Chain A
């Protein structure tokens, strides 16, 4: 089959590789019909996530048709149309039992590597380094889906791939980002990053009843999408105005009740700060550039919540712990527990409360994946989200 393989930093190749096989009794094989490129893939592409190997198949946002099931899979049959959640979760361990699926204790065969770095290992993820399992990803024609009796969501209602594909990751991620803000009547929510994840965080904050939602980015087309499609009531272009001043002004000095970081470890920023973090990152003195996170903590109102859904991989520098502590802030974060949100969000899509396909700007074939990555990375051609089809 064809698959999009990581061949080194900023080097991808669509190669012919062996077809996946059933390895465990609870596996299924899925023929992929749609698969997307995620902001998280850019961290791999740019070489910021350790333990990648030449030839690794990328991709963790995919859906398709079941073509084979292992002997222990009773809930799916050949021909079923399914969306696959990006964290691999067993459904039985103590984390899965608490609905913390992205922390599954049994799905990462390389847990020991992650334990050395983080103390404990999160779940295995599709196409996301060896430290997180060494699972082949879903930017391919077929994928092996472990624990197919737990994760995949059956779609049987005639909704299109474009409408349900993002249940695999970014819609639940944006939703969890907003849910972690514990939104109360009158709340003002600020969202750093108007990539696809930020768009869904904005749309979800709206669904959860936020009074006002402020989208922050530097690309006018992304800010426009946030205002026109996602439901932002205001937007801030951080290259044109001071985010902190503007937020104070918009909230009459209170600061946003909750701040969502939908940017993550590769944030961009004003010259001096950006250069400082770039330099430290290059020298390996920090692995992540926490520019948006620092700003979110400083901006957040006293007693407010900072919800971090942007991905961080390692260590950060100049973390404003003093602000966090003295303002009694709450930080909530995590890889998304996708399995927890898929069904309720599918119901919202069915009821017409949200149509996630609004973020898609480009469709391409799988063999054009490298071009799609380059375009998405450089935000060329007003690129917001690329969907690859078989």
Chain B
């Protein structure tokens, strides 16, 4: 199961504003986006993140897994995470 390393020094506000000092870029995330990113920062692996989505949100496992994959893809594209 994949583990992801989140780039260091990310600043995320509760409202979903993300600043990446290394590149000076900023992003906005929705609540689920923040939730996932924070779980990854805590060092949770893919399975654990998906499980916590299913536990806390009104979503089934398949959907959560599919959306997680898509979200990771976007994070990678923006160099915010890498696979460990």
Pair from one complex: no
